[in-house]
Structure 1
Amino acid sequence: MRVAVVSNTAWYLFNFRLNLMRALQADGHEVVAVAPADAYAERLRAAGIGFEPVPISGGGTNPLVELQSVRRLRGVLRRRGVELVLSYTPKGNLYSALAGLSCGVPFVPNVSGLGRAFIRRSPVTLVAQALYRLTFGRALRVFFQNNDDLNVFVHAGLARAEQCERLPGSGVDLRRFTPAPLPQRPADAPVFLLVARLMWDKGVGEYVEAARRVRQRHPQARFRLLGFVDVANPSAVPRAQVERWEAEGLVEYLGPTDDVRPFLAEADCVVLPSYREGVPRTLLEAAAMARPIVTTDAPGCRDTVIDGQSGLLCRPADAADLGDKLLRFIDLAPQARQAMGHAGRALMERSFSEQLVLDRYRQLVSDISAHRKTAQTAACSR
């Protein structure tokens, strides 16, 4: 089959879906990646994946611009003779659904979090729900990364229960992310690390406020930020704000990276106080490297932690509670921290291996391909 894999950034496809695209190619399918052109487009091509640029703005709200992007995507599907679309991210899912329906190409969206429209309810929320209701009911399958989001869609009538299926996030490559020993440093001088696009909805503000509280008791504790700043999203934390935090001595901004593993290895604990996620890949990678986790008791985030065993859960949007959990972590003996890390690795091996996700997609595409061939044979025999 000719399969298009669509997202709102080539960065996402390269970092999170490259193994899937390679697996589909190994099964004999022709794969094309579709996203806005950025530096990772060339990396996809260098990896042997065809690439088609389509402007899909993660934060855009201009109806004319959005419609033009859908038309561009529909043109790619037709020109490439695409027979199936696999899509990711809220905009990627909606664009793919609208383009696929307009030219008769079946689509399988993956809901990796509900996005800003569901976190901060507004008129945009109503528009998004209307578009989901219009399109997702005609999807071949709708994958979700956690049951909270699946239930939201079913109960709101945005998708039918029989269409929906939960996958363990995007999974984690357990061969690439392997356990690393915790750094040898004083227990009261830990390094905390937040890995994410720097957005308020990721809980960056709460992380910094918690750092302020923790450092009053443990001034040697260090708080690091790793990820893209100036992202195209209304929830983005301005670069000037990050610089002010740095000048105050609260955080160290490390910038973005193509390889998070050295930074995870240097951390004692990985923190993500996000308001809502699909299943955050960064936490899966951290747990796979045997790092304790502190995250929110929120959809998607809570899936990655066994509270009290592999990490700690805090209340969403509550810097004081986050600070208390970080202080609780600091009070843990080294052996208890190690036990948390080992429990996290065991959870990843048991429930979140990327191979589970790859196998499900490969089976789905194989079934769809076989069904199409049977239908074509039947049509030709009439």
Structure 2
Amino acid sequence: MKPDHKPLAISLVCNTAWAIYTYRHGLIKMLVSKGAEVTVLAPRDRTFPLLEQMGCRCVDLPVSSKSTNPRDDLHTMFSLYRLYRTIKPNLVFHYTIKPNIYGSVAAKLAGVPSVAVTTGLGYVFIQKSRAAQVAKQLYRFAFRFPREVWFLNRDDQAAFMNERLLAHPERARLLHGEGVDLDHFAYQSLPEKKSEFIFVLIGRLLWDKGVGEYVEAARRLRTKYPQARFQLLGPVGVANPSAISQADVDAWQREGLIEYLGEAHDVRPHIANADCVVLPSYREGVPRTLMEASAMGRPIIATDVPGCREVVADGVTGLLCEARSAESLAAKLAQMLDMSADARRAMGENGRHKVAAEFDEAAVVERYKDTLRTWTGASL
């Protein structure tokens, strides 16, 4: 950008700052390097200082992820409206359900262009509840307003089309995942271990992530495969209707089923230490942890559901199991345990090649640049 021009003002809005820091690192680096003023609007958490170190301005946003109280959601919407009127961003990117819905409306009211990024359909398309039906109606209304609506996989885009949730279907774009930094998640050969075999599930500890099935599969396998260890890495008791409690995790540890590793800023040492990364989720956008695991050369086991099947080539880079089935998951974990080290290594290598070809973060950042050029005229 020319120095005499007013800096490009971009706002990134999400229900957690952690997700902005973790999943949009490359985007933020690009924007800051080009002189853009980046404002992150999200509930305050431990990543605020890290985002500020990267050059972002962070604003604490009230978002009640668990609440279905309309008063809370209207508070979020009017907070965003006031912030957009103050910040006057050239373009806003909204992520996750409530920012997508209420942020899109607030941006329209404030006269600010926005893009909605559906990072996964979550409970809205998993459950058949009244709240899910209301959420679909809200999507149908709010998604009249963004200039573009991005989807991370074809299944999610098709779901929105089939349910007629897009007033302007021509504004839909397929992003095909948010990408992974291939240099940061460099390939590492599988550890040479004879006495133990480590599985790890990485992510927020939610029932919808298949954590219950993972624990039950561990229970079924521990007698036949005493060398198998089952680890969990990620935040517990998060603000989500599907959250798992610390009491559940403590009980599983007392039973000797799992090892809880807590949270980690840097997941790479845990991926490197693992023989296989597992994600038995009920539905995903395109799961970052699976892309990162494949990039580092780890075979993966996941469910045959939207999002996961985008990353896993069954029998080539990993194995797919049925969703919500501890029996199916246990069978695939056993299959992985029974495989030769060479077969597992080949899966990991194939995974690295697939991620490099399809999910390179650099290509995703280019998509953001194109969108910014289109809607702001900025020469990035």
TM-score computed with the length of structure 1 as normaliser: 0.95
Note the C-alpha offset of 1:17.
1.3
SS of match in other structure, 2:223: helix
Give yes or no for the alignment of 1:166 onto 2:197. no
Q: CA deviation at 1:6?
A: 0.5
Aligned residue-pair number:
371
Q: CA deviation at 1:360?
A: 0.2
1:213, 1:323 within 8 Å by CA — same for their partners in 2? yes
Moved more, 287-296 or 10-19: 10-19
Contact map agreement 1:145 1:166 (CA 8 A) in 2: yes
Q: Which residue does the alignment assign to 1:308?
A: 315
CA offsets 1:48-74 (integer angstroms, 9 cap, x no match): 111111111222211111101111111
Map of 2:298 onto structure 1: 291
* Equivalent residues in 2 for 1:337-356, closer than 5 Å: 337-356=344-363
Determine the C-alpha separation between the residues in 1 that align with 2:94 and 2:359: 20
C-alpha contact 1:52 1:76 (8 A) present in aligned 2 = no
Normalising by structure 2, we get a TM-score of 0.95
Shift of 1:30: 2.2
The separation in 2 between residues aligned to 1:365 and 1:93, in whole angstroms, is 18
Counterpart CA distance in 2 for 1:289 and 1:305 is: 14
1:37 aligns with 2:44: yes
Of 166, 171, 187, which residue of structure 2 is paired with 1:179? 187
Structure 2: how far apart are the matches of 1:234 and 1:132? 19
- Aligned counterparts of 1:351 and 1:18: Cα–Cα separation in 2: 18
Structure 2 equivalent of residue 23 of structure 1: 30
Partner of 1:324: 331
Deviation per CA, 1:331-361: give whole Å up to 9, x if none.
1111100000000000000000011110000
Amino acid corresponding to residue 134 of structure 1 in structure 2: F
Q: Distance in 2 between matches of 1:138 and 1:237?
A: 35
The aligned residue for residue 226 of structure 2 is 219
Unaligned stretches of 5+ in structure 1? 373-382
TM-fit CA distance, 1:29: 2.8
Query: Which is further off, 268-277 or 77-86?
Result: 77-86
Q: Is the 8 A contact 1:293 1:312 kept in 2?
A: yes
**What whole-Å deviation, never above 9, does each CA across 1:278-311 have from its counterpart, x for those lacking one?**
0010110000000000000001011111100100
CA distance in 2, matches of 1:143, 1:25: 23
Distance 1:231 1:371, change over 3 A: closer
Q: Any idea what SS the aligned residue of 1:306 has? A: coil
Given the alignment of the two structures, is residue 282 of structure 1 paired with residue 289 of structure 2, yes or no?
A: yes
What is the one-letter code of the residue matched to 1:22?
Answer: K
Measured in 1, the distance between the counterparts of 2:191 and 2:99 equals 39
Map of 1:183-262 to 2, 5 A cutoff? Answer: 183-186=191-194, 189-262=196-269
Q: What's the CA shift string for 1:98-145, capped at 9, x where partnerless?
A: 211221211101111102122112111121111111121221111100
Q: How does 1:81-100 map to 2 (within 5 A)?
A: 81-100=88-107
Question: Which residue is equivalent to 1:380?
Answer: none
Distance 1:332 1:63, change over 3 A: same
Selected match of 1:132 from 127, 134, 139 = 139
- SS of 1:39's equivalent in the other structure is coil
SS state of the match for residue 185, structure 1? Answer: coil
Distance in structure 2 (CA, Å) of the matches to 1:46 and 1:271:
32
Instruction: Tell me if the contact between 1:5 and 1:87 (Cα under 8 Å) persists in the aligned partners.
Output: yes
For 1:18 and 1:163, locate their aligned partners in 2 and report how far apart those are by CA, in whole Å: 25
State the one-letter code of the partner of 1:173: D
Show the counterpart of 1:378: none
Per the alignment, in what secondary structure is the counterpart of residue 279 of structure 1?
coil
Aligned partner of residue 128 in structure 2, secondary structure: coil
Separation in structure 2 between the aligned mates of residue 134 and residue 92 of structure 1, nearest angstrom: 14
What does the per-residue CA deviation read over 1:216-243, in whole Å, with 9 as the maximum and x for residues that have no partner?
2111210000000011112111111111
Q: What letter matches 1:254 in structure 2?
A: L
Residue 73 (structure 1) aligned with residue 113 (structure 2): no
Partners of 2:331 and 2:218 in 1: how far apart?
11
Deviations 1:29-49 (A, max 9, x none): 322111011221122112111
Q: Find the counterpart in structure 2 of residue 376 from structure 1.
A: none
Question: 1:77-108 deviations in whole A, cap 9, x for unaligned?
Answer: 11111221101111221121121122121110
Letter in 1 for 2:183: R
Please tell me whether the aligned partners of residues 189 and 218 of structure 1 are also in contact (alpha carbons under 8 angstroms). no
Q: How far is 1:371 from its partner?
A: 8.9
How far apart, CA to CA, are the structure 1 residues paired with 2:24 and 2:249?
30
Q: Distance in 2 between matches of 1:161 and 1:311?
A: 34
TM superposition outliers: structure 1 runs of 4+ over 4 Å: none
**Corresponding residue to 1:102 among 96, 109, 112:** 109
1:172 deviation in Å? 0.4
DSSP 3-state at the match of 1:259: coil
Task: Provide the residue aligned with 1:364 in structure 2.
Answer: 371
2:356 is paired with a residue whose SS is helix
